[in-house]
Structure 1
Amino acid sequence: MLNLAIVLEDSARETPDRTALVFGDMRLPYSMVESVANQVANLLVSRGISRGDKVAIACPNSPYFPFVYFGILKAGATVVPLNVLLQSGEIAYHLADSDAKAFFCFEGTAELPLGKRGREAFEQTSGTEHFFVLPATPLATESELGETLWAALDGMPGEFPTVPTAPDDTAVILYTSGTTGRPKGAELSHQNMLLNAIVSDEMFARSENGDTYLAVLPLFHSFGQTVIMNAGFRRRGTLVLLPRFEAGAALDLMRREKVTIFAGVPTMYWGMLTKIHADGEEVPTTLRVAVSGGAALPAEVLKDFQTTFGIGILEGYGLSETSPVASFNQPGKPAKPGSIGTPIWGVEMKLIDAEWNTVEGEGPGEIAVKGHNVMKGYYNRPEATAEVMRDGWFRTGDIATRDSDGYYYIVDRAKDMIIRGGFNVYPREVEETLMTHEAVSLAAVVGVPHDSLGEEIKAYVIREPGATITEEELISWCKSTMAAYKYPRIIEFRDSLPMTATGKILKRELR
């Protein structure tokens, strides 16, 4: 038996009174997180959820996330975490595609009406039988959107014998927007996720007094889930939860809670440094480990952080399909700025060409990964899986070079992927949505450089003959149809687009 929930269970058994979560004024010990997760597991079993069933959760960084995540795992079911920025049509797609039997959805706020979107999606999805509201008001038992978690947990015991799962059973299905438009669910086993959390934890020495993590990376995303939550719980650390990154709030929490470990995307580092330099914010002094991933870290930010905070930023690399960590600038080896480091323990990397042939020397070539971190495949998509997996190797679509010491450096993105503020945006998905508008004849989406976000999304659009839609009108339509991180903020109308002889749009000429 192997169940990812052990990262919580073991810590709750050994250090029940240690603070596991800090959220606003709340400080919750490991024993309480364990007990609520057990109640969630009991609830699921009482509603007919059994080993192998899929259960979705859409929730920002709050105590609800670990309560429900580990409750689902304990029940032997598979967690399907959803991006909280998805619109109702997108949520419905994920629920149906993953065969989710139950759905836990945060009630949301006026600015982010997640509960309303989730309820609409649930009503459109016949296979999803149960809808539980995670209320915005702590411990609220009523919600106009449906049954609340607290009402459902009433009378559920705080003990639960974790359902035995095999190492190869699917623990989590993480959705990744493929270059083919529709998001695909990467199936990650208990072994994938547990080993990645263990390796992520063991890369850094532990503080004598225990470690405190600032958890601002979304827990629904593989980076936050493995590197912060699962590794942090295994370490018996304290997770300080911040639902939305805001530089001032992050710095304040770092100082107040004496945060020792931080992981973020480059724009977060940029934001904190900007805040310190512009407003004279006090620099936190307890930070001892800073990790960056999700996009290439600008060298200027790295230098500035080292000077300002007195510690370096260690860069790593991975994908949802690799649980996610594949390589890292590991302690004990010199860190090389601009590099994604070397493969982590138990993982191999190589460079390949389009035909899967190994590229020797420094490349460039496409990164392929093999090891305990590689997914089982895409859920219910054997053809898509066969395209990216061969003999245990997973091809990432990211182009890199490698130096004589075996350190890798990312050169170019998988196909044309845009990374906007740390979120992966696949142009084709945006293009396909744009082209559902009656005034749009053709669309090509590219990333254009942006000072703080890294890249902004720009769409080149050819209008239908006679259509008079304006840029503002089309942007507004996109905003209501796509998640906030996906929709194009810049639209340029054209009469034609540059194309190859076979009719493929030449994006490199549009950038």
Structure 2
Amino acid sequence: MLNLSVLLEDSARRFPDRVALVLGDQRMTYADLDAQSNRVANLLVSAGIEPGDKIALSCPNIPQFPVVYYGILKAGAVVVPLNVLLKDREIAYHLDDSDAKAYFCFEGTPELPMGEYGLSGFAQSPRCRALFRITTDPAAPAMIDGVGTLADALARHDSHFDAVVREPGDTAVILYTSGTTGKPKGAELTHANMALNALTANRLFDSTPATHDRYLVTLPLFHSFGQTVTLNAGISVGATLVLLPRFEARAALDLIEREDITVFAGVPTMYWGLLGALDEHPVDIDRIARNMRRAISGGAALPVEILTRFADRFGVQILEGYGLSETSPLATFSDPALEPRPGSIGVPVWGIQARLVDKEGNTVTGTDQIGEIALRGHNIMKGYYNRPDATAEVLRDGWFRTGDLARVDEDGFYYIVDRAKDLIVRGGFNVYPREIEDVLIGHDAVSLTAVVGVPDDSHGEEVKAYIILEPGAQITAGELIAWSKQQMASYKYPRSVEFVDSLPMTATGKILKRELGRSPAA
């Protein structure tokens, strides 16, 4: 028997008065976090939610995310965290595809009207029967646009709840990813997957309750990296999580200094931003260096130059790792006890096996020989929700085929050399060209398109679209980009459009994307 919410309940029992969450001047103790999550669980049960039901959550890094997250788990339901940048069309797809019975959605801001998109997406999803609006203003009215607020609903429910018993192999979380089809797929991660991955992170980074770490949590909590390495791992050892809803380098530096942050986890562009801000935004670098004991990077390849510069300026060696939503996500990581290998994604973490395979699944042997990474262990998902064929494509005899190509050196350190898929990693977010192409080709002026990632100093990769127009079509690149921005999340739409007369193709008509995107985005 295992329920992932035990990570919170155990820390609340041991450290009830320890601060669990910090957002600005707001502080929430472990006892308060546990009590509020119990209210969410009672709310869901009263709404007819049963164990195994799917509950969607759109929320930035504010205290309400962990409150709702653990409340859903306590009720025995399945958390379906959604990217906060999704538009209504995309939200409706995720609600429908996951069979969500209820939806918690943050009200948003003028710059990001999540509440508006969420309400519209919910209206397009008849099978999702309950919507709760998350607000940050305690004085907010009980109803907004005909939708009840979470704060008002929780006030009517008790702060005590006995977590529903679940089995280790039951689904705890569905994290949406995409594949070669371009349609987002839900990776089912079990209570055992998530709990063991969080505990593996603590083992790897030497985190214990006695350490009382202070994490800066700016990685999105809807993402597997932030959810496991900062939220679940941190909560399980009674850490204090300092929330930063949106990464801004100067604000992050201020918090790292003021809150005596000991653990920072980010994607490479965040480290790039911190280094850039350091020259123009003076902070007590000695104080930061005294307190920060772990710097963790994932989500995209970390340039060696950034790794070296960060160690020189902050006195901390960045530990780089690799994983996917389907692997909970930790799979390989730099070993803190070993000398760093710049450019390497490290070695398999505790309990995980890795090998390189060819297209037929045969093991590739020999130093520096290239093959596809295959993984096996406690971190591997159950499968893609309601997609047995897609699951069978990547799970074979217990081994998960990642689609990423790598080599291994003589000491067993792995190095990513290419992506077997056409995945674009923009600022740590996965962007799948096929999905973007499907949207673009829906425009009347577009005849054919190919979307690729191009080098970008700020985001690692930027999204660029090569377009063949319909005969006689009249549209500018700026107009097409503006249209795209209205159709999809802000991290997806192309920042650069180039009109071409033809696209490079093989003899069989397959577009040669490797011939595109060799120059930076315009």
Aligned residue for 2:224? 222
What TM-score, normalized by structure 1, do the two folds share? 0.99
Aligned residue for 1:332? 337
Q: Does residue 392 of structure 2 align to residue 386 of structure 1?
A: yes
Q: Does residue 353 of structure 2 align to residue 348 of structure 1?
A: yes
Distance 1:401 1:393, change over 3 A: same
For residues 457 and 386 of structure 2, the distance between their equivalents in structure 1, rounded to whole angstroms, comes to 39
Aligned residue for 2:34? 34
Give, as a single letter, the amino acid of the residue that structure 2 aligns with 1:49. I
**Structure 1 SS opposite 2:354:** strand
For residues 16 and 172 of structure 1, the distance between their equivalents in structure 2, rounded to whole angstroms, comes to 26
> For each residue in 1:373-411, what CA deviation from the matched residue of structure 2 results, as whole angstroms up to 9, or x when unmatched?
000000000000000010100000111000111110011
For residues 291 and 139 of structure 1, the distance between their equivalents in structure 2, rounded to whole angstroms, comes to 38
Aligned residue for 1:271? 273
Aligned residue for 2:308? 303
Deviation at 1:24, TM superposition (A): 1.0
CA RMSD of aligned residues (A): 1.1
For residues 270 and 35 of structure 1, the distance between their equivalents in structure 2, rounded to whole angstroms, comes to 39
Aligned residue for 1:506? 512
Give, as a single letter, the amino acid of the residue that structure 2 aligns with 1:428. R
For residues 205 and 515 of structure 2, the distance between their equivalents in structure 1, rounded to whole angstroms, comes to 44
Question: Which of 488, 492, 500 is the equivalent residue of 2:498?
Answer: 492
Give, as a single letter, the amino acid of the residue that structure 1 aligns with 2:173. V
For residues 112 and 70 of structure 2, the distance between their equivalents in structure 1, rounded to whole angstroms, comes to 25
Structure 1's unaligned 5+ residue stretches are none
Aligned residue for 1:104? 104
> For each residue in 1:246-283, what CA deviation from the matched residue of structure 2 results, as whole angstroms up to 9, or x when unmatched?
00000100111100000000000000000112344442
Contact 1:51 1:77 in 2 (8 A): yes
Alignment of 1:194-343 (within 5 A): 194-206=195-207, 208=210, 210-283=212-285, 284-285=288-289, 286-343=291-348
For residues 497 and 467 of structure 1, the distance between their equivalents in structure 2, rounded to whole angstroms, comes to 18
> For each residue in 1:210-246, what CA deviation from the matched residue of structure 2 results, as whole angstroms up to 9, or x when unmatched?
1100000000000000000000001100000000000
Question: Which of 410, 419, 425 is the equivalent residue of 1:413?
Answer: 419
For residues 221 and 209 of structure 1, the distance between their equivalents in structure 2, rounded to whole angstroms, comes to 26
Question: Which of 406, 409, 413 is the equivalent residue of 1:403?
Answer: 409
Aligned residue for 1:69? 69
Alignment of 1:50-69 (within 5 A): 50-69=50-69
For residues 140 and 339 of structure 2, the distance between their equivalents in structure 1, rounded to whole angstroms, comes to 51
Deviation at 1:331, TM superposition (A): 2.3
**Structure 2 SS opposite 1:271:** helix
Identity of aligned residues (%): 62
**Structure 2 SS opposite 1:458:** strand
**Structure 2 SS opposite 1:315:** strand
**Structure 2 SS opposite 1:180:** coil
Contact 2:250 2:281 in 1 (8 A): no
Distance 1:190 1:454, change over 3 A: same
Contact 2:257 2:283 in 1 (8 A): no
Give, as a single letter, the amino acid of the residue that structure 2 aligns with 1:351. L
Alignment of 1:360-379 (within 5 A): 360-362=365-367, 363-379=369-385
Equivalent pairs counted in the alignment come to 511
Aligned residue for 2:176? 175
For residues 250 and 422 of structure 1, the distance between their equivalents in structure 2, rounded to whole angstroms, comes to 17
Contact 1:463 1:493 in 2 (8 A): yes
For residues 57 and 8 of structure 2, the distance between their equivalents in structure 1, rounded to whole angstroms, comes to 18
Q: Does residue 460 of structure 2 align to residue 459 of structure 1?
A: no
Contact 1:38 1:74 in 2 (8 A): yes
Higher mean displacement: 343-352 or 354-363: 354-363
For residues 248 and 58 of structure 1, the distance between their equivalents in structure 2, rounded to whole angstroms, comes to 26
Aligned residue for 2:8? 8
Deviation at 1:209, TM superposition (A): 5.2
Deviation at 1:141, TM superposition (A): 4.1
Aligned residue for 2:454? 448
Give, as a single letter, the amino acid of the residue that structure 2 aligns with 1:405. D
Give, as a single letter, the amino acid of the residue that structure 2 aligns with 1:259. I
Contact 1:135 1:149 in 2 (8 A): yes
Contact 2:52 2:78 in 1 (8 A): yes
Give, as a single letter, the amino acid of the residue that structure 1 aligns with 2:333. F
Aligned residue for 1:19? 19
Deviation at 1:139, TM superposition (A): 5.7
